[in-house]
Amino acid sequence: MQRDQLEEAEKAFGEALELSKEAQNVQGQAIALGELGDIYMQRDRLKEAEKAFGEALELFKEAQNVQNQAIALRRLGHIYIYRDQLEEAEKAFGEALALTREAHDMWGQAENQRSLGNLYIHQGQPEKARNTYQESIHCYQLVNCILDAAEVQNILDSMQCPYLYI
């Protein structure tokens, strides 16, 4: 998205948040906060993104929306990686993975396994990453996300031939 589009989107989701608050729509508030968090991430405003995702997580808990709790946790995990808070990232991804397993959300499990694999690569734990990526591929295949499975397979292949990894 271009800068002016991000500004427009931020304004629109800010308005959606306010309307959801007025209507006491917890789910609407959480969704708007998640979208605002994504915009803040794209604009490199990590502190605001973390706050938005944290608030969204609490609202999704209140609404008992397990799948969106997992998404908020995964988004927080990505922020922690950017900040090199790797223990916090692993905790967030692990909690997200547990929630998606509880919800029998195979796509969510695949995404969380992939995020954990990326974290393990960042931590210099290639064997742990390999195992986690393989689980991710399996979950993607179960929900017919062939392109996502292929992307993760490419990561695995690049681990076999490091000179391919870009």
- Give domain status of residue 81, yes or no: no
Same domain, yes or no, for 60 and 95? no
The span from the CA of 7 to the CA of 44, in Å, is: 13
- Give domain status of residue 75, yes or no: no
Same domain, yes or no, for 155 and 94? yes
Same domain, yes or no, for 103 and 165? yes
Nearest to 140 by CA among 102, 111, 120: 111
- Give domain status of residue 129, yes or no: yes
Which residue type occupies 128? Answer: K
pTM of the full structure:
0.90
Domain that holds residue 54: 1-64
Same domain, yes or no, for 58 and 97? no
DSSP for 64-123, written as a single string: T-HHHHHHHHHHHHHHHHHTT-HHHHHHHHHHHHHHHHHTT-HHHHHHHHHHHHHHHHHT
Same domain, yes or no, for 57 and 120? no
pLDDT in tens, the chain (166 residues): 677 899 999 999 999 999 999 999 999 999 999 999 999 999 999 999 999 999 999 999 999 999 999 999 999 999 999 999 999 999 999 999 999 999 999 999 999 999 999 999 999 999 999 999 999 999 999 999 999 999 999 999 998 765 544 4
Count of domains forming the chain = 2
Same domain, yes or no, for 58 and 96? no
Residue whose tokens read 């959606």? 16
DSSP for 16-29, written as a single string: HHHHHHHTT-HHHH
- Give domain status of residue 76, yes or no: no
